Structure formats: structure tokens, C-alpha cells
Amino acid sequence: MRYEYAPDIQAIAEEICNILFPHVQLDNIQCFRSYGSSSKYTIARCHALGKIMQKSLHRPAFYALEFLTEKFDKLSSEEKVKTIMHELMHIPVAFGGGFKHHDFVTEKNVNLHYKEYKKRRENEGKKDWYIL
């Protein structure tokens, strides 16, 4: 596996957080592209720095969002935004290193958040979608 920073995905993730998820501490998330995964069905993953590692390193919670290039890059722009949103939805309001599970992060909830995100962007005069 090879990982590289994804500043284009990071910018979209930060905008989504500013609009929908203000609890996400932007200095404590980082987006990456990964190459070479053998995973068949995974498009993206959310990784957290667990409590014991936080205490060991004397640092707060940190989340790394990984986007598997081979799958993510084939998505439409809308599906890419929804995938980024899906991964961000795993981050709980407490921002303590835990996860919200797939009983909350469902396709239905992602679509509801996506509609709200799109509406708020349009209200701000931002109609053009990102090209990823």
C-alpha cells in the first residue's frame, strides 16, 4: 500500500465540516489517497487514533480519512462528495477517537445530509461542484 496526502479531498472535507459538521476539529483530520488495496468492496475508510495512543502520545483525537484511489476515482463528482461525507459522518460529536457505526451512517442519512449540504451551498451562491 502507498499513501499520499489528498489536498483536493481535504478541501472538500473541510467545506463539508464547515457547513454540516462543526464539531469536527479540522486541524485533527487528514485526507489521504491510497494505492494498491486488495479490498473488493471498500471505497474509503475512516481511521481513528485510539484513546491509549492519544494518551501515550499526549495528543488529542485524530482521524485519517483514506480514499482507495482505484475505486474512488471512478465515482461521479456527486458520489465522491457523498463518500467524503459518509466518512466524516463516522466522526462523533464528542470527537474523542471513537466512531459512529453503520446503524447511523446509512445511505438514507448520507442522502439527507447531502441534500442539506447542496441546499446550503446554493444559498451561499456556490453552484459549481468540485471536479475531483
Residue by residue, DSSP assigns 44-56 as EEEEE--HHHHHH
Each residue's pLDDT tens digit, 31-87: 999 999 888 899 999 999 988 999 999 999 999 999 999 999 999 999 999 999 999
Each residue's pLDDT tens digit, 16-33: 999 999 999 999 999 999
**How confident is the model at residue 19, as a pLDDT?**
94
Quote the CA–CA distance of 15 and 32 in Å, as a whole number. 16
Quote the CA–CA distance of 63 and 49 in Å, as a whole number. 6
- What's the predicted TM-score (pTM) here? 0.92
Of 128, 15, 22, 12, the C-alpha closest to 67 is 12
Q: Roughly what angle, to the nearest 10 degrees, separates helices 107-123 and 7-20? A: 90
Domains annotated on the chain, with CATH: 2-123 (3.30.2010)
Three-state DSSP at 35 gives strand
